[in-house]
Amino acid sequence: MSQKKICVVGLGYIGLPTAAMFASRGHEVVGVDINPDVVESLNAGRAHFEEPDLGMLMAAAAQTGRFRATLGAQESADVYILAVPTPFKDGNKPDMSYVDAATDSIIPLLKADDIVILESTSPVGTTERICDRICAARADLRTPRFKEAGSPGQLRIAHCPERILPGQMIRELVANDRVVGGISEMCADAARSVYDSFVKGQTFLTDSRTAEFVKLIENSYRDVNIAFANEMSMICDHLDLDVWEAINLANKHPRVSILRPGPGVGGHCIAVDPWFVIDSAPEQSRVIRQSREVNLEKTRYVTEKIEKAASRFRDPVIACLGVTYKNDVEDLRESPALEIIGHLAANSQQKILVCDPMVKVLPSSLADHANVSLVDLDTARAEADIIVCLVGHRAFQRLDPKLFFNKVVIDTIGLMYDRA
């Protein structure tokens, strides 16, 4: 694709790395966000969250003038990428307000042959929803119809879900295969040409509904498999068995590959996306629903286990190792560790020590509790009666289990088993 002007709406964990990659390939990129602090930071060449190589790309983009951030979509572009949140609301229903608002913000700027790509993970039919919204507001524009051939002069509207892992975003943006689903074949071809400027993996074309569902399948699959591991951990507790040894031995079978249990499931993808499937096909998604419930129950189960251990002490000190949603990232979204600590803090006066090398200050949901403090690992180990292993950061993986021989250890991630 020749050099284009690209507008990326939403500069969070997906939009910003994507914008940085396009800028690094010589495109003129305008990023749009609703947070003035984020816009100010990015225009100064500073990423607003930590991610390997992202800071370097942003500094270079600012220096060359290929990237700038604004508080609203103000200028016409050739390509519009929507990378806004798609959370769920009451009753685990998809909240499409961010996608709708992002679409509305670009509608006045659109012109014939522009490309509009939705990257946000979304329920099936969302790309068509965008198309219908544009059509209703701009009768002067020609919009494609689902699975029609398409023709010159139409908008090109497609869905291209992200497939990147926090901590490896930049590398995976380039190396991973992509699925691009168009409202029409012409739309899919146009969207693929956009990503060809930096994607080295294969790009597979399909229709927009299939592309939307593929992303939901991927995360539902992972949620189901994690639920199996988490259920095994609770069964092993009931039978007084070591789940880590049991899973390790079961995985010696050539066709068995059980995942590791944990305190639940976090992150904006696996903890959220299965609900989109359940909402669209409630009678057909029984395994997916049950898996979601198992993973939510595991978080409650761990919380109760900690409370039971604490009841043996008069004034227990509880040290929680890890508060982010996964290893070696600063991301707190949907973190089961954060939920567990928050519940303990709100429902008791016990002293709670939080230790996490990825977190510089306590998140706001914990900072208001006088009984919670952020400490280093040595302090946590010295002062705690109960040690709770919640996230397997690299810094924790170097721990010697012998240092905790006089502590009550609740290991939800197999940290001590790995080091024994």
Instruction: Indicate which residues carry an active-site annotation.
Output: 215, 269
Sign of CA pseudo-dihedral 169, 173, 175, 176: positive
Q: Which two tokens stand for residue 276?
A: 């989109």
Pairing relation of β-strands 156-159 and 178-182? antiparallel
Helices H / strands E in the chain, number of each: 16, 15
Angle at 366 between CA 361 and CA 368, to 5 degrees: 100
201: DSSP letter: S
Distance CA 166, CA 326 (A): 9
Q: Return the HEC string of 250-307.
A: HCCCCCCCCCCCCCCCCCCCCCCHHHHHHHHCCCCCHHHHHHHHHHHHHHHHHHHHHH
Chain-centre distance for alpha carbon 207:
24
Distance CA 331, CA 324 (A): 6
Distance CA 368, CA 38 (A): 24
Q: Which two tokens stand for residue 164?
A: 């990147």
Helices (H), ranges, 115-181: 126-137, 169-175
Pairing relation of β-strands 178-182 and 79-82? unpaired
φ, ψ dihedrals at 30, nearest 5°? -115, 120
Distance CA 165, CA 167 (A): 6
Distance CA 418, CA 248 (A): 11
Q: Which residue bears the tokens 């992200």? A: 162
Q: Between the CA atoms of 48, 49, 54 and 56, what dihedral angle is there, to the nearest 10 degrees? A: 60
φ, ψ dihedrals at 344, nearest 5°? -60, -40
Query: Which value, in Å, is the radius of gyration of the alpha carbons in the chain?
Result: 23
9: DSSP letter: E
Pairing relation of β-strands 93-94 and 88-89? antiparallel
